[in-house]
Amino acid sequence: MIDIVLRFARLCAPLVLLALFPARAVADTCPEDCTDPPPAPVNIYSQTTAGHLSSATAGALPRVYVPNRSSNSVSVIDTVTLKEVDRFSVGSKPQHVVPSWDLKTLWVANNGTGRNGSLTPIDPMTAKPGQQIPVDDPYNLYFMPDGSAAIVVDEAMKQLDFRDPHTMALKSSLPTPTCPGVNHADFSVDGAYAIFTCEYGDGGLAKIDLKNQKVLGHLDLSKMGMPQDIRLSPDGKVFYVADMMNDGVFLIDGDSFKEIGFIPTGIGAHGFVVSRDGKRLFVSNRGSHKMEQGKAKGPGSVTVIDFATRAVVAQWPIPGGGSPDMGNVSADGRQLWLSGRFDSDVYMIDTTSGAVTKIRVGVEPHGLTVWPQPGRYSQGHTGNMR
């Protein structure tokens, strides 16, 4: 009888404890693997991988659009045949071809001289240009993360112009007097701020409060130089900044706005492209420290950085020399397209082997874009997709 009572007590004790002290009972008896899993790591490029083409891009022709700065034209390349299939005239000094936030228009930023600038719309369904819109000095073009405004980088006038994202009518302007040569940008994960590079003067960065449209601060880099493109790491913690004079990439903690590292890459580090799987950063080294009229067939190259380790994992020279500048990757991630700024070429680079195919275009090709690209929306430049 006593054995039966003891056996019954042993069986019932956990149930009694659970009823009286539910949280403690579970904590005391739960195995380690029953705890809540840790939150999934942030990956801001999760929607830009192959297979995530938006329905807004359905029917778009597979093309590469190349602004030829000194030819005042755009070359159109068929990504299948690797041939230039069209070339049309645009405004003065076209710098970048920029996908709109809603992915329905490609804008050619013709920054001309001062108030002689314009934007030329391209219909990606036909690969044909529309009517130009006069816009003051649009060196570059970005979009607010929520699509509420276009941000024209008015480099010559040291300001950012916030415009209607469709009509390009001016809404407001933000002077950036401490950022001479305001240039390229990328946005924080939450869209609260953007960091712009300052190309001239001593070089540096400007942090912009997007909601209130005000300058939050200026950061001088440890080495005076000429910062160019900027791109956020997949985890949203670090901004990579290419510096053409220092031949490498600065690492910036965006929230604290502090420099935390530097990675040497190659002569004239200039542009960034994120791999389609979001794991690598392609750095185009232009092979020259000159902004214009650099030497053709220079020691240009592409450096491949692994985001996880922040280490250089490959170095691809341009065979015979070259001047890789800006670009993007194909929708499937197999092709890296870059303009050859001083060589009147475009480079199609195999992203596995680094093998290069050269395609002749106009004079001084600059910020080309590849279309269509995966992603929900464009934040501007040559296709900074999220």
DSSP per residue, 261-323: EEEE--TTEEEEEE-TTSSEEEEEE-S-S-SSSPPTT-B-EEEEEETTTTEEEEEEEPTT-B-
In a domain, 312, yes or no: yes
Structure confidence by residue, pLDDT tens digits, 36-53: 666 667 899 999 999 899
pLDDT of 18 reads 42
Q: Is the pLDDT of residue 349 over 70?
A: yes
Confidence of residue 376 (pLDDT cuts 50, 70, 90): very high
Residue with tokens 């299939």: 85
Query: Which amino acid does the sequence have at 233?
Result: S
pLDDT of 151 reads 98
In a domain, 331, yes or no: yes
pLDDT of 39 reads 67
Helix (H, G, I), strand (E, B) or coil at 94: strand
Q: Is the pLDDT of residue 7 over 70?
A: no
Take residue 71 and report the two structure tokens written for it: 């030819």
Q: Is the pLDDT of residue 354 over 80?
A: yes
Structure confidence by residue, pLDDT tens digits, 357-368: 999 999 999 999
Confidence of residue 272 (pLDDT cuts 50, 70, 90): very high
In a domain, 24, yes or no: no
Average pLDDT of every residue of the chain: 91
**CATH number of the domain to which 250 belongs:** 2.130.10.10
Compute the distance between CA of residue 214 and CA of residue 192 in angstroms, rounded to an integer: 12
User: How many separate domains does the chain show?
Assistant: 1
Q: 215 and 229 in contact (C-beta within 8 Å)?
A: no
In a domain, 35, yes or no: no
In a domain, 376, yes or no: no
Q: Is the pLDDT of residue 24 over 80?
A: no
Residue 91 neighbours by CB under 8 Å, 6+ apart: 72, 108, 110, 112, 117, 118, 119, 120, 132
pLDDT of 35 reads 59
Confidence of residue 140 (pLDDT cuts 50, 70, 90): very high
Q: How many CA atoms lie within 13 A of 260 on its CB side?
A: 13
Query: Which amino acid does the sequence have at 118?
Result: S
Sheet holding 193-198, edge to edge: 182-187, 193-198, 204-209, 214-219
pTM of the model: 0.89
In a domain, 16, yes or no: no
pLDDT of 36 reads 63
pLDDT of 288 reads 95
Compute the distance between CA of residue 137 and CA of residue 352 in angstroms, rounded to an integer: 38
Instruction: Give the residue-averaged pLDDT of 195-217.
Output: 95
Structure confidence by residue, pLDDT tens digits, 58-70: 999 999 999 999 9
Q: Is the pLDDT of residue 87 over 80?
A: yes
Domain membership of residue 72 as a residue range = 55-371
Q: Is the pLDDT of residue 203 over 90?
A: no
In a domain, 10, yes or no: no
User: Residues of the chain with pLDDT > 90: what percent?
Assistant: 84
Instruction: Give the residue-averaged pLDDT of 207-236.
Output: 96
In a domain, 271, yes or no: yes
